[in-house]
Amino acid sequence: MSSSGAPGKSSSGRLSRWRNIVNRLRRGARHPSSSGMGRPGFYINGDSDPPPSLEEIRAWSESFDRLMRNSSGRRAFSEFLKCEYSEENILFWQACEDLKLETNPAVVEEKARLIYEDYISILSPKEVSLDSRVRDIVHRNMRAPTPHTFDEAQSQIYTLMHRDSYPRFINSSSYKELAQLTSNCSSAGRKESTSRKDSAT
């Protein structure tokens, strides 16, 4: 289940953590789900994502939709949710997105079963928080799974992240440090480029 509390960390610890995130974002490194190891397609991002610009990072604060449409934004938000012990929410959301892309009925059924076991079952440590109405819908849909079996559940978790975790992410020192570190990287890159040009003349 999700928890709203975040563990306390020193400023230097947070800075080091987010500097690593900036480095991963700039490399476009693949970020596998800790809950989906060995399960193809359960990823927050694909390969070769372009590094986010400072403008992109700032745009994340303007709209949750813009954050979630941006692959690097999802990765950064996922890292933040890890600190809040609620990463299962975005992993479930992404798993539902992956399921919608599947056309093979046998694969749809298998993926739906895995999603149910990982995020819906009350026996799972990664169970997401859904109301009884949505749970009933999911249970009915699981009788004959389709790519849209979890649409209502996905929508409810999306709203939960929007209203609960997103405001804390945008107002966190971690987000501000991410923007600042990216700004510093951009400035350093411009200075290095200028220096090379000066050396060549």
- 62-111, pLDDT tens digit by residue? 999 999 999 889 989 998 999 889 999 999 999 999 999 999 999 999 99
Q: For residue 41, tell me if it sits in a domain.
A: no
In a domain, 46, yes or no: no
Which pLDDT does position 87 carry in this prediction? 96
CATH number, domain containing residue 152: 1.10.167.10
The verdict on residue 5 lying in a domain is: no
Tell me the pLDDT band of 112, cut-offs 50, 70 and 90: very high
Query: 175 in a domain, yes or no?
Result: yes
Residue 184 placed within a domain: yes
The answer as to whether 148 is a domain residue is yes
Angle at the Cα of 177 from the Cα atoms of 172 and 178, rounded to 5 degrees: 100
Average the pLDDT over 104-132 and give the result.
98
Number of compact structural domains in the chain: 1
Structural domain of 146: 12-36+51-190
CA nearest 72: which of 85, 84, 87, 59?
A: 59
Assess contact for 26 and 188: CB atoms under 8 A: no
**pTM of the entire structure?**
0.72
Instruction: Calculate the alpha carbon distances from 169 to 50, 133, 143, 147 in Å.
Output: 22, 29, 37, 30
| Residue 116 pLDDT | 99
197 located within any domain: no
CA distance to 62, 147, 153, 192, per residue, from 150 (Å)? 28, 8, 5, 49
pLDDT band at 198 (very low <50, low <70, confident <90, very high): low
